[in-house]
Copies of this chain bind each other. A is one copy, B any other.
Amino acid sequence: MTERATLGVAVIGTGKMGADHVRRIHEVVSGARVSAVVDVDAERAKTIAARVDGCTAYTDPASAMAAADVDAVLIASPGPAHEAALLQAFEHDLPVLCEKPLTPDAASALRVVEAEQRLGRRRAQVGFMRRYDTEYMKLKSLLETGQLGRPLMLHNRHRNAASPPFFTSSMLISDSVAHETDVTRWLLGHEITAVTVMRPTPSANAPDDLQDPQFVVFETDGGALADVEIFVNCGFGYQVQAEAVCERGTARIGDGHAMVTNMAGRWGGTIAQDFVERFADAYDREVQAWVDATRRGEVTGPSVWDGYAAAAVCEAGVRSLNEGGRMTVELVERPALYG
C-alpha cells in the first residue's frame, strides 16, 4: 500500500465505450486520472475533455502518447483502428488496455502478438471484462480448487433483448460469441481447436435475413466440449449464463436471482436489460485492476494472445456459419511470453 503516483491515462476513442471509460476513470477508479482524450472528431474530443480538469483533447493517438502527463493508454476506438494504436503504444513503451476485439481479424491480431513479442515483455491487456465479473471469478476459483474434478463440458447462454440495426449474422459470432470464446478458453484452460455453428429456424422477432439464434459447439485441445446458445433478439432481456460440467459436479452462474418478488400471480424478479447493467461492476473492476497492476509495473489480465486466439476462433466460426459444418482452428505456436 505504498503510495504511487496517480496514473495519467489517454483514452483513445470517445464513442459510447470511450466516454464511459472516461467517466469511470474520473469518478470511480482510484489512482488514475484522464489526462488525454483522442478522437478524430475534434469537437467530440474537446467536449469530452472539458468534463475533466487538466485533460487535453487530441485528434491523433501519437500526439497524446507523446504527452508528458500520459502514462498509459486505454484504446476504445473502433476495432479497425486498434492495430495502429497498439503498435504506437508499443513504440512509446506505454501500457495499454485495449477494448475487445483486439483487432478485427486473426492476421492483424497476430501482427500485434508479434510486435509485443519483439518488445520481449507484455505491455497490453485485452478488454475481456467477463474475467472481472464476480460470478465468473467465483466459477473460475471453484474450478481451480479441483473440488469438482476436471471440466468436461461448458454450457453457455448469451441472450440480448434486441440486436442493434447494423447487426449481421456473422456478428453474432464475431461480436457476441467472441466473449464465450474467451470465457471458454479461460475457464477451461484449453485452446479451442474446432468450431461448428448450427442454424435453428430464425426467430420471427429477429430482423429479416438475420440468422438468430445460432448454436455453436467448440472442441478444445483438452478434450472438453463447450456449447453456446447465442440469441440476440430474445426479447426478454440481457442474460449471460454458464454451466461447467465436471467429473464430480457442476457449477452454474448467471441466473441473476437476487430480489424475489411475489406479485400478480407470479414469483420471480427482473432481468437485466443490457450489458451495461449486467457487467457495470466487471468494467469497474477491470479498469481498476489494470490501473493497479500498471502502477505496480505489472501487466496482468487477458493478453494479446487471448485476443488473437479469440479472433482465430471467431473466423472459423463465421466460416462454419456461412459454409456449414465443422471448421478447425489453426493457431501459430504459442510464444513463451504467453506461457
Contact = CB atoms under 8 A, between A and B. Distances in A.
A153 B281 CA distance: 31
Copies of this chain held together in the complex? 4
A292 to B, nearest CB: 8
B257 A267 contact: yes
A203 B30 CA distance: 45
B150 A204 contact: yes
Nearest to A258: B135
A264 B263 CA distance: 15
A259 B1 contact: no
A92 interface: no
Given A200-B153, A205-B248, A259-B138, A23 B52 contact: no
A201 interface: yes
A225 B204 CA distance: 16
Interface string A213-254: 101010100111101010100111101000001011111110
Contacts of A51: 1-2
A88 interface: no
Nearest to A141: B259
Among A29, A150, A257, max chain B CB count under 10 A is at A257
B270 A249 contact: no
Interface in A13-37: 23, 26-31
A107 interface: no
A323 interface: no
Given A155-B229, A205-B248, A235-B249, A266 B265 contact: no
A273 interface: yes
A262 B271 contact: yes
A213 B245 contact: yes
B138 A258 contact: yes
Given A51-B2, A271-B262, A225 B249 contact: no
A268 B265 contact: no
Contact of A269 (B26, B203, B223, B268): B268
A23 B225 CA distance: 43
A253 B258 contact: yes
A135 B155 CA distance: 22
A135 B257 CA distance: 11
A271 B261 contact: no
A241 to B, nearest CB: 10
B53 A3 contact: yes
Contact of A268 (B1, B234, B253, B267): B267
A224 B215 CA distance: 11
Nearest to A260: B252
B3 A259 contact: no
Contacts of A256: 267
A149 interface: yes
A210 interface: no
Contacts of A80: none
A27 B30 contact: yes
12 contacts: A1-B51, A1-B52, A152-B203, A200-B223, A236-B265, A252-B260, A252-B261, A255-B260, A260-B268, A266-B270, A267-B269, A268-B269
7 A-B pairs closest in CB distance: A268-B268, A3-B53, A201-B223, A249-B263, A1-B51, A200-B225, A203-B247
